[in-house]
Structure 1
Amino acid sequence: MSGRESAPPGQKSVGVGELFALRNSELKDDDGIVFLVNADWCWCWQRQMQHNIDAKWFGVYNDGRVCGDAFSRALDFVVAQEGALLLPLGIINLGTLRKTIKWFDGIKKFAIRGQGKNTVLTFDNIDPPIRSNKKNWVSEPFLFTFRGANANQYIDSLVLENFCIDYARQRNQGGTSLEALGEFHPTLHSTGTIALYLNYCLNPVIRNVSFSNVYGSGVYLRRSYYPLCEKLSFYNVSANQIVARDKRMDRDNSVGAIFYWSCFGGLIHSCIACNTRKYTVDFLSPDNKQQINGTLCGYIGFWSEYGFQSKNRDNEGPPLIDCATHIDQDADTASRGIQISNCIVSGYVIGIKGETQTDIYVLNNMVLNCYFPITCSGVRGVVQRNYTNMLHCEDIRCPQGEQFCRRDIPRQAG
């Protein structure tokens, strides 16, 4: 039997390809590979198993129609069976789906692969949480979450490549609650969303993926072993909750293009992050009275922080190295060689940053229009052959003024 491109309203689509009639009482209908047609007689249609799984088999559309449920079924199948989920050219609208894959006993190696810049994942609006207290920040659900359980139960060799994520359909783009949109946007009090969140992953690869219109972070990797981010591009992927709840201005804000947190090793290579977003609210900095209107609304382009062990935090180690026992301040517990190279960063408060027990190598990058182009704080940093130019922001004081500057004076940078 030849598969159909699509089914009439209310009926299943079995996608393209060939299916075979089979009588088997043990197979279950998964709406992509197996289709039950007669429960009493145990007859079904079954697609011949392959390593590459076409997302269209599960009913994923590429014409902008909502297909989040179909995408979710297809990804769940690949995660359980092993292989690559192949995405078609076109607009794949995941609607209100915000997909999470958690480690489970038997999880397989898997990949999600598109066909380049013309495979575009979009998302329909989800209204943000209502602020119960006007001092509280709000945030959006992460778009994709891949979460291992611990250092022994991790997601192995995840590959994400050759597609785009566009968050422009989100009404507030991950920012503040809706009642504040009429006042100003971007807002001072929002954490935004995270497009790709990975935790406890071994050798994850994110390659040739582009991100646009994300108010929040692009890629956030925690407690992972040798992550690779290569040939990624970010346009207006930024946020900066610049004023803390207690009115302090020297707090970190985990929003930017790529963040490696407590990772062992890793590479950020040939990536581009360009942010043009600026504050539009008239507000004087509590720190140095700088007018915030017109200043950069983007915290850090690329950065890493924390080694794989810290005596101040529990259960930080990524896969395979939680066994390390030396947690003294002077012990060799750094992240072992985070490298950021051949990248371009423009329009962030800090372009590239390494901090707190993270060996970092910053090589051959171009950093433009950032208050602090490159900084290494409390780390062993090697900074070589980079080009920096503050461009339009050199005559503007960073709103996070004296406290921020004192905190981020480069140290041990060569």
Structure 2
Amino acid sequence: MPSTAALPSLPAPGPEARLAFAELLLGCDEPRTCAEAAVAWLVQHARVEQVLCLAPDESDSHCLVPLAWHGLSGAEGFMLALHDPKHPLVEALQWNEPRWFHPGQLPPELPLSRTGLFTLSLGKATAGIPPPGLLMVGSPVPELSPEAPWLAGHLGMHLTRLYKGHQLARLEAASTELAARVNAATEELATQNELLRRQAIQLEQASAAKSQFLANMSHELRTPLNAILGYTNMLLQGVNGELTPPQRRSLSRIDSNGRHLLEIINEILDITRIEAGRMPLHLSEFRLPELIQEVMAELDPIIVRSKLAVSSSLEPNLPPVHSDRQKVKQIVVNLLSNALKFTHEGSVKVLASYEVATATLHISVADTGIGIDPIHQEKIWEDFQQVDSSPTRAYGGTGLGLSICRRLAAMLDGRISLKSAAGQGSTFTLHLPRRTRRT
């Protein structure tokens, strides 16, 4: 086992020499320069022939490498790994006093292994952090000049200062680089945000221009179309004389297609007015049974042609509703029309109920039609969108009906839900508060 060194009675340099050496170390800017000056001073004043100073490797702080040496060959290739705490030289880092090893206790790869060795830790280990290095002095006997411990203390202090300064400089450089990157990223983000803001303004202006164009065009189209429908109706009533059956059939087709075109124009007008916030609400109190009966009567010709079993089931004692009657009717008409359109056989049922806990009325239209695959169920609520949007689609329409219904329901503080699966029918439900609070 290593033993504590006996300090010999060698002449010590005077205070002036130590002060000059301390000033020399203060003037060093690099750990290697500091270590080389310490080794030279130790050789001169302690009369030692072999010295090796180990310090942390800048690229790997988990090992010590030679920083300066004297009287050794091949020292630059030595490396002391710190991962083995039982290595005698790693243990020496924890000692506060110089220790002496005889040659048999030293690892063979150490350049000083042929003679005895004093180890001096350059500082104290704190909180698991090793000191900034290890000073090793070759000695055939356990005798050490008192200058060596004094030098080890000063050298450790200055190495600590230099390493901390280098770490601080690296941290400052990294911080500066990071700040520059953050500033660059912030500037880029600000540029992108400004670009997005301008694009948003342009999109808003384009949307407003589109809505205005659609509103103007719809108005211009509806004026002559109303005239066409008016004259067609007059001819069908025989104002200009009795019509032959072929003439009546032709005029009926003109009237039917004209009214269909008028419905499309009205849908476009509704969308533009809702988008522009110019769709007014006319709130009044009304009862659902009368409204549903009215809807069924208006769609009776389509119901008869469909040859479907169409029925209604209303919960008794439904309370009156305070909302926009025309808009609620428009939603129910659209939902029932769609059910009749997409159901080829089976039934369509209109149901109404009231939920007391939430003061909400539920109006459902359930059919046994083609149904809607879940992957398409969000698409159908978008403007001008249908499940099949191809030119060869089997069902006509603009794709605006459900979009308008959802927007109208939102205006009435309500919503529309859907339960459906492909080939298993669909159930659209309008959830409407008993009292709409918007004005």
Same fold (TM over 0.5): no
**Which category describes the TM-score, using the shorter chain as reference length?**
under 0.3
* TM-score, L = length of structure 1: 0.18
The structure with more helix, counted as a fraction of residues = 2
